[in-house]
């Protein structure tokens, strides 16, 4: 082979080697990395608290309201209209607290200032009366000026005094105003009384308590 042919072959060889090297570099070049998403430096918000379970509304049983006292009511009494009643008569109601048993309590109705009983009985009472003004005694404690109206109920404000004592203990009740003897007995007893102060006497000693409407006072 002559010199010129050798030069041409050498040039061709170098060209092939260069091309091969260039292709290899392209193949070995690493692929571009995917962009990393930016990471927020702000603190993550706290997880939301679960909503409280909603319970069904509680059913509250409300006792029916007491009848409203009408005209003529006073500290001693509440006068309530009765729309179902007809006629001229009114009604006197003496109702002692539930759970009490003042069966020995005497209730009497009088004309004002008189001392002859018109009607009465022992324990709670419901008495129909002509319209007018009366005096009423409960355990001999007199209530003055009780009004009875047509087709109305006059509810006397009363309570019970419950005394707990031995069978041989004498208990006497006195009017707190004038010390007049009212009623009494031996041992444990329940006395129906109008609202207000009452004096209790045991073994020569006396103490005043207050009777409250619709309540039992323990002594």
- Same-domain status, 150 and 185: no
CA–CA distance, 208 with 201 (Å, rounded to integer): 9
CA–CA distance, 1 with 218 (Å, rounded to integer): 145
Q: Which of 118, 136, 157 is the last residue of a domain?
A: 157
Q: Is residue 28 part of a domain?
A: no
Using alpha carbons, list the distances in angstroms from residue 206 to 30, 116, 199.
Answer: 113, 31, 6
pLDDT, residue 56, reads 39
Q: Output the 3-class SS for the chain.
A: CCHHHHHHHHHHHHHHHHHHHHHHHHHHCCCCCCCCCCCCCCCCCCCCCCCCCCCCCCCCCCCCCCCCCCCCCCCCEEEEECCCCCCCCEEEEECCCCCCCCCCCEEEEECCCCCCCCEEEECCEEEEECCEEEEEEECCEEEEEEEECCCEEEEECEEEEEECCCCCCEEEEEECCCCCEEEEEECCEEEEEECEEEEEEECCEEEEEEECCCCEEEC
Q: Is residue 16 part of a domain?
A: no
pLDDT, residue 68, reads 57
Question: What is the sign of the dihedral through the CA atoms of 193, 194, 196 and 199?
Answer: negative
Parent domain of 98 = 77-157
Q: Indicate the pTM of the whole model.
A: 0.66
pLDDT, residue 37, reads 44
Q: Is residue 197 part of a domain?
A: yes
- Same-domain status, 143 and 174: no
Q: Is residue 11 part of a domain?
A: no
- Same-domain status, 204 and 135: no
Q: Is residue 83 part of a domain?
A: yes
Q: Which of 157, 186, 207 is the last residue of a domain?
A: 157
pLDDT, residue 12, reads 73
Kindly give the confidence (pLDDT) of every residue in the chain, 219 residues in length, as a single tens digit, with 9 standing for 90 and above: 566 667 667 777 776 666 665 555 555 555 445 444 444 444 455 555 444 444 334 333 333 444 455 666 679 999 999 998 889 999 999 999 999 999 999 999 999 999 999 999 999 999 999 999 999 999 999 999 999 999 999 999 999 999 999 999 999 999 999 999 999 999 999 999 999 999 999 999 999 999 999 999 999
How many domains are contained in the chain? 2
Report the candidate in 140, 145, 162 with the shortest Cα–Cα distance to residue 209: 162
pLDDT, residue 24, reads 58
Q: Which of 157, 179, 201 is the last residue of a domain?
A: 157
């Amino acid at each position: 082979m002559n010199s010129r042919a050798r030069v041409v072959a050498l040039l061709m060889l170098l060209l092939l080697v260069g091309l091969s090297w260039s292709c290899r570099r392209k193949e070995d070049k690493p692929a571009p990395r995917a962009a990393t998403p930016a990471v927020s430096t702000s603190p993550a918000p706290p997880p939301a608290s679960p909503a409280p379970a909603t319970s069904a509304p509680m059913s509250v049983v409300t006792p029916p309201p007491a009848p409203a006292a009408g005209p003529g009511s006073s500290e001693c009494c509440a006068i309530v209209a009765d729309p179902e009643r007809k006629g001229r008569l009114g009604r006197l109601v003496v109702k002692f607290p539930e759970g009490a048993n003042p069966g020995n309590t005497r209730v009497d109705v009088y004309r004002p200032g008189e001392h002859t009983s018109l009607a009465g009985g022992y324990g709670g009472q419901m008495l129909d009366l002509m319209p007018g003004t009366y005096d009423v005694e409960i355990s001999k404690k007199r209530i003055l000026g009780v009004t009875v109206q047509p087709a109305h109920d006059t509810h006397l404000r009363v309570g019970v005094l419950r005394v707990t004592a031995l069978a041989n203990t004498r208990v006497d009740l006195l009017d707190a105003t004038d010390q007049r003897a009212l009623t009494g007995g031996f041992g444990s007893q329940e006395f129906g009384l109008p609202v207000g102060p009452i004096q209790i006497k045991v073994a020569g000693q006396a103490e005043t308590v207050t009777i409250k409407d619709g309540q039992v006072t323990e002594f």
